[in-house]
Structure 1
Amino acid sequence: MASPSSSSSSSMKVPRMKLGSEGLEVSQQGLGCMGMSANYGEPKNESDMINLIHYAINIGVTFLDTSDALKGVEREKVQIATKFGISHQDGMRGIRGDPEYVRACCEASLKRLDIDYIDLYYVHRIDIRVPIEVTVGELKKLVEEGKVKYIGLSEACASTIRRAHAVHPITAVQMEWSLWSRDIEQDIIPTCRELGIGIVPYSPLGRGFFSSGAKLIENLSDGDFRKIFPRFKAENIEQNKTIFERVNEMAGRKGCTPGQLALAWVHHQGDDVCPIPGTTKAENLNQNIGALSVKLTPDEMSELESYASVVKGDRHAFMANSWINSETPPLSSWTSQ
């Protein structure tokens, strides 16, 4: 891949922000790296992805969200977030939050990423068999040992967040949040703000839908797991594509792309919000950064929200592993294994 060229959308350095109240500072927009190596079709060319990551860092995108897919960057320039909690054994997918697994995953990530510490370590999914206090208790030990700087949660309900935060301060909660995925706004967002926890929206572009619309589905490769997502199924896409058409029309009026408009909506949710759109292409990265320059009035925010008020299909193909089902047993029920 040729070195990415500069563009007007990336000529500015991405501003910095405080994520949460524990001291972590990151770029105002992060980079989701999952699609570089898994789930979104075939793994991409490794050297191309390394070039893209270095390009992102050079223009100020230093908050890198990865599941064991990042290595060889200048450590002092970046904030590395990674996760544990989803296990794959004998072809079976499971969720684990027991102390032994927490520690084993952390040690494995440090080795794979060739780093001495993880800036932000997330519980990727909540193990409903293990009290959250037990999981976070082991993470607290890793913080005390210097292997982890800050602790995060992903797909956790408000009560789980509170219980975790009582054991050790939670710096960030990563949740799906976009124009058409807003179910966290009633309880989870207010809880995070009450506790001083930063909010990291994943899939802020609706897994690419707000960048491309229905043609996204037509171009998905066989290995792309978005094919099984309810909103992209044939019985739902006809209704959902009207959402994109309306966003696209408004973007034309605003002089930006539909993806920039949808991403700007997420950025406008507050100064405690750091979305992590993923991409494998420099031109898309430049466009995403351009969303930081798109300004929206309260009326425009409301107009955008009205477009996506009726969405057909669940937001995720694995709703059973979402915050809706993230309650864990009380600590009193736990006996060490």
Structure 2
Amino acid sequence: MGKQGFVTSQQGLGCMGMSSAYYSYPDASDEECIKVIHRALELGINHLDTSDAYGPHTNERLVGKAIAGQRDKYDIATKFGAAGNVGASAKGMRVRGDRQYVREAVQGSLERLGVDCIDLFYQHRVDRTVPVEETWSELKELVKEGKVKYLGISEASADEIRRAHAVHPITACQLEWSIWTRDVEEEIIPTLRELGIGIVAYSPLGRGFLTGQIKTPDFAENDRRSQWPRYQKEAFEKNLALVESVKELADKKGCTPGQLALAWVHAQGPDVFPIPGTKRLKYLEENAVAYFLELTTEDKRFLEDTFHEDKVVGGRQPEHSKQSSYLGGSKKTGQTA
């Protein structure tokens, strides 16, 4: 991943949903989630993604508990900079990138994870009140001190990526990329490839929507999806029709719509590392199979035509999240980035 020597599994495991964000369905105990993390390793998935904001803090503690006694077998990625709980809503989220906070954040993450060094440490959101050079100068010091091995950035603009990279090489950029969220392809992806930065695609399954398993928009009030435009009733029904239309191709290939969607992300190149999240063994194993699913040129064209931006209804985030996104709105559609 990237050009700094970080070697990890091509597919990772997003751990956020184990502790926050998605509350509409039966919860999973810590013991069940730990079994998922252990099974992931058996399947060759050793890249775990978390953040101090998930919970907040509880997800890092869960991951720390899961890797205890076998820390060297896992690559741990965590994030800082989104102060508060980003689980149910981004409205109360405070973005911080000042030097003092960077120090406090890394120390807290190390303690909760129970490790003496973080493999990949991301700036979760860019603090637009602090020069990105200031934040990254402090991150550079953390690398020198051995607290962090590699650095990443998330939801940043192309300009911010370039400026941060000039201070210290970025190993990975985390962004939302899936068959129905492709605005990053216009400017962000070319920038990352020019600089040799690994691409970590979060929500490659559209927060579960692209699997076809979610049939109604009746999300719990504290579920993030209840606030987002694509999951509102009218948009939901139109978008679900798009998912339904790929089932014939899925049946033909002997897979699920979700596996097709995830395989499409893998097919974007060897520099792309999707991190689908789940807290169920069944879905972990389904997602792992997608890595081996080969798509033809015709398959990819069909999926891209089906989920063309003109057919997807609603933005990927609510209006109040614009301040923490890499774009204010898509240049092509005007939708919230």
TM-score tier, shorter chain, comes to: 0.7 to 0.9
CA contact (8 A) 2:178 2:265 kept: yes
Of 49, 56, 64 in structure 2, the residue corresponding to residue 71 of structure 1 is 64
Q: 2:332 maps to what in 1?
A: none
Q: 1:282 maps to what in 2?
A: 281
CA contact (8 A) 2:136 2:168 kept: yes
1:312 to 2:308 alignment = no
1:187 to 2:169 alignment = no
**Distance in structure 1 (CA, Å) of the matches to 2:325 and 2:190:** 18
Of 320, 324, 328 in structure 1, the residue corresponding to residue 327 of structure 2 is 324
Of 9, 20, 30 in structure 2, the residue corresponding to residue 38 of structure 1 is 20
TM-score by length of 1: 0.87
Give, as a single letter, the amino acid of the residue that structure 2 aligns with 1:171.
T
**Distance in structure 2 (CA, Å) of the matches to 1:65 and 1:88:** 18
**Distance in structure 2 (CA, Å) of the matches to 1:92 and 1:213:** 30
Of 52, 58, 78 in structure 1, the residue corresponding to residue 42 of structure 2 is 58
Give, as a single letter, the amino acid of the residue that structure 2 aligns with 1:195.
L
CA contact (8 A) 1:208 1:216 kept: no
Cα pair distance change 1:107/1:43, threshold 3 Å:
farther
**Distance in structure 1 (CA, Å) of the matches to 2:176 and 2:112:** 26
The Cα shift of 1:213 comes to: 5.2
- Cα RMSD between the aligned structures? 1.7
The Cα shift of 1:209 comes to: 0.5
Give, as a single letter, the amino acid of the residue that structure 1 aligns with 2:143.
V
**Distance in structure 2 (CA, Å) of the matches to 1:79 and 1:216:** 36
The Cα shift of 1:178 comes to: 0.2
Give, as a single letter, the amino acid of the residue that structure 2 aligns with 1:106.
V
Q: 1:333 maps to what in 2?
A: none
Count of aligned pairs: 306
Give, as a single letter, the amino acid of the residue that structure 2 aligns with 1:316.
Q
Give, as a single letter, the amino acid of the residue that structure 2 aligns with 1:281.
R
Q: 2:9 maps to what in 1?
A: 27
**Percent identity, aligned pairs only?**
51
Give, as a single letter, the amino acid of the residue that structure 1 aligns with 2:72.
E
Secondary structure of the residue aligned to 2:298 is helix
**Distance in structure 2 (CA, Å) of the matches to 1:282 and 1:273:** 24
Give, as a single letter, the amino acid of the residue that structure 2 aligns with 1:79.
D
The Cα shift of 1:214 comes to: 4.7
The Cα shift of 1:63 comes to: 0.2
Deviates more, 1:51-60 or 1:256-265: 51-60
Q: 2:334 maps to what in 1?
A: none
The Cα shift of 1:221 comes to: 3.4
**Distance in structure 2 (CA, Å) of the matches to 1:127 and 1:44:** 33
CA contact (8 A) 1:40 1:225 kept: yes
The Cα shift of 1:202 comes to: 0.2
The Cα shift of 1:216 comes to: 5.5
The Cα shift of 1:58 comes to: 2.0
Cα pair distance change 1:43/1:168, threshold 3 Å:
farther
**Distance in structure 2 (CA, Å) of the matches to 1:226 and 1:83:** 22
Q: 1:97 maps to what in 2?
A: 97
Q: 1:80 maps to what in 2?
A: 76
The Cα shift of 1:245 comes to: 1.1
Unaligned runs of 5+ residues in structure 1 are 1-18, 327-337
Secondary structure of the residue aligned to 2:171 is strand
**Distance in structure 1 (CA, Å) of the matches to 2:220 and 2:313:** 23
Deviations 1:64-87 (A, max 9, x none): 001242113111101000001111
CA contact (8 A) 1:179 1:265 kept: yes
CA contact (8 A) 1:136 1:167 kept: yes
CA contact (8 A) 1:214 1:237 kept: no
Q: 1:10 maps to what in 2?
A: none
**Distance in structure 2 (CA, Å) of the matches to 1:216 and 1:75:** 40
TM-score by length of 2: 0.87
CA contact (8 A) 2:77 2:119 kept: yes
Cα pair distance change 1:67/1:44, threshold 3 Å:
farther
**Distance in structure 2 (CA, Å) of the matches to 1:80 and 1:163:** 25
Deviations 1:285-322 (A, max 9, x none): 00001101211112211110000012111111323311
The Cα shift of 1:92 comes to: 3.7
Q: 1:149 maps to what in 2?
A: 149
Runs of 4+ in 1 over 4 A off after TM superposition: none
**Distance in structure 2 (CA, Å) of the matches to 1:320 and 1:230:** 16
Give, as a single letter, the amino acid of the residue that structure 1 aligns with 2:3.
S
Q: 2:106 maps to what in 1?
A: 106
Q: 1:294 maps to what in 2?
A: 293
CA contact (8 A) 1:213 1:245 kept: no
Cα pair distance change 1:145/1:273, threshold 3 Å:
same
Unaligned runs of 5+ residues in structure 2 are 53-58, 86-90, 330-337
1:137 to 2:140 alignment = no
**Distance in structure 1 (CA, Å) of the matches to 2:46 and 2:228:** 30
Deviations 1:16-44 (A, max 9, x none): xxx11100011110000000011111863
Q: 2:253 maps to what in 1?
A: 254
The Cα shift of 1:226 comes to: 1.1
Secondary structure of the residue aligned to 2:200 is strand
